[in-house]
């Protein structure tokens, strides 16, 4: 057995947990020779094992572990048919040591095994418990930061939506100002139909200089799932010409620019109907807004 092997096995020998009897006998033989290296390993192991519990954070064992340990000690201290304690002597590391009683040897073995179990449990469980607490704290911090991020993202999304709405309003205002400057401008009003709120209304601005219609609506309810609004020009001979599709924003408003269809002839009315998504060539839905074009 090399010195390295001897040093590795010595703590198990001191604890009485070295299961390989051949190895245990080799350790005993080396100790009996009075080898100073072996004696040093013995002292080192005893000092290390004595100091090891002091390096651990105090961890209270469970009541069940305490009961199991006391029961094990009690059983080991009263073995059936145990012979009376002997007072033999043995020489170890150059000194004469009295052989301890057999009953005490059993108690010591039980205590050594229990201490080994508790040390192993303390060394393993205590750091794991701290790591688990740290992990749970990190998870809680991440969850809190996630909530903060969600609130920030919601606030940013709300502000972005508001910015889009303001940009749309600015664009609408700019368009309104531009076509209000037209020298030849005709304005027609569209009133709400039976299915729209009473405050729903529309305006048609005919910019004759540019040959386009500008349609503006307010107070309308959303067209609904699978539906869209469709604007129609109605000629004096009751020909219905589709002019464009639209829906309204959260405030019930929309703006639509419609080029004047060529050769459409004199116009009599304008109307808005609700139609299937994608629109139809001729109106099929109910009238949402309607007004005369004078």
pLDDT tens for each residue of 182-204: 666 778 999 999 999 999 999 99
| Helix-helix angle 3-15:36-51, to 10 degrees | 50
Quick: pLDDT tens for 105-149. Answer: 444 554 555 555 555 555 555 566 676 777 788 888 888 888 889
> CA–CA distance from 209 to each of 164, 172, 176, 245 (Å)?
30, 19, 14, 24
The three-class DSSP label of residue 211 is coil
Q: Which CATH superfamily is domain 184-292 in?
A: Superoxide dismutase, copper/zinc binding domain (2.60.40.200)
Nearest alpha carbon to residue 120 among 215, 53, 48, 204: 53
Q: In this structure, are residues 217 and 289 in contact, taking their beta carbons and an 8 Å threshold? A: yes
> CA–CA distance from 242 to each of 10, 42, 190, 278, 284 (Å)?
99, 103, 16, 12, 12
Task: Kindly tell me if the per-residue pLDDT of 177 is higher than 50.
Answer: yes
**Which residues fall within 8 angstroms of residue 101, CB to CB, at 6 or more apart?**
85, 86
Give the pLDDT mean for 263-284.
Answer: 92
Quick: pLDDT tens for 202-214. Answer: 999 887 777 788 8
Alpha helices (runs of H) in the chain, residue ranges in sequence order: 3-15, 21-32, 36-51, 63-77, 102-180
Distance CA 58, CA 250 (A): 64
> CA–CA distance from 200 to each of 203, 218, 252 (Å)?
11, 6, 8
Confidence of residue 174 (pLDDT cuts 50, 70, 90): confident
Confidence of residue 243 (pLDDT cuts 50, 70, 90): very high
**Which residues fall within 8 angstroms of residue 86, CB to CB, at 6 or more apart?**
99, 101, 102
**Count, residues in the chain:** 294
Give the pLDDT mean for 238-250.
Answer: 93
The pLDDT mean for the chain works out to 78
Instruction: Provide, rounded to the nearest whole percent, the portion of the chain with pLDDT above 90.
Output: 28
Region(s) of the chain under CATH 2.60.40.200: 184-292
> Taking phi first (over 0 means left), then psi (-120 to 50 degrees means alpha), and beta for anything else, what does residue 168 get?
alpha
> CA–CA distance from 49 to each of 11, 203, 242, 292 (Å)?
7, 94, 95, 103
Say what the alpha-carbon torsion angle 154, 160, 162, 163 is, to the nearest 10 degrees: 160
Task: Kindly tell me if the per-residue pLDDT of 100 is higher than 50.
Answer: no
Rounded to 5 degrees, what angle do the CA atoms 245, 246, 249 make?
Answer: 175
Say what the alpha-carbon torsion angle 119, 122, 127, 131 is, to the nearest 10 degrees: 150
292: which strand partners? 269
**Which residues fall within 8 angstroms of residue 203, CB to CB, at 6 or more apart?**
187, 188, 189, 190, 215, 216, 217
CA atoms within 13 A on the CB side of 232: 28
Helix and strand counts by DSSP (H, E) for the chain: 5, 10
Task: Kindly tell me if the per-residue pLDDT of 215 is higher than 90.
Answer: yes
Give the pLDDT mean for 225-231.
Answer: 96
């Amino acid at each position: 057995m090399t010195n390295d092997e001897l040093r590795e096995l010595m703590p198990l020998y001191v604890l009485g947990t070295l299961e390989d009897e051949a190895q245990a006998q080799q350790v005993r033989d080396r100790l009996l020779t009075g080898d100073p290296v072996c004696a040093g390993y013995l002292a080192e192991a005893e000092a290390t094992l004595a100091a090891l519990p002091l390096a651990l954070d105090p961890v209270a064992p469970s009541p069940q572990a305490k009961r199991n340990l006391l029961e094990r000690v009690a059983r080991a201290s009263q073995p059936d048919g145990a012979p009376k304690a002997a007072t033999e002597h043995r020489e170890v590391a150059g000194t004469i040591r009295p052989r301890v009683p057999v009953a005490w040897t059993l108690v010591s073995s039980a205590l050594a095994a229990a201490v080994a179990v508790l040390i192993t449990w303390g060394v393993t469980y205590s750091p794991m418990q701290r790591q688990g607490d740290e992990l749970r704290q990190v998870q809680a911090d991440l969850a809190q930061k996630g909530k903060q991020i969600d609130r920030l993202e919601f606030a940013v999304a709300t502000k972005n939506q508001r910015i889009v709405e303001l940009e749309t309003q600015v664009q609408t205002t700019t368009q309104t100002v531009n076509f209000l400057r037209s020298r030849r401008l005709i304005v027609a009003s569209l009133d709400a139909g039976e299915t729209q709120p009473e405050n729903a209304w529309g305006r048609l601005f005919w910019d004759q200089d540019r040959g386009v219609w500008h349609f503006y609506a307010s107070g309308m309810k959303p067209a609904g799932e699978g539906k869209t609004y469709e604007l129609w020009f109605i000629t004096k001979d009751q020909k219905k010409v589709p002019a464009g599709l639209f829906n309204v924003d959260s405030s019930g408003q929309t703006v639509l620019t419609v080029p004047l269809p060529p050769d459409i002839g004199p116009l009599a009315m304008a109307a808005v109907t609700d139609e299937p998504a994608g629109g139809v060539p001729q109106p099929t839905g109910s009238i949402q807004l309607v007004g005369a074009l004078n």
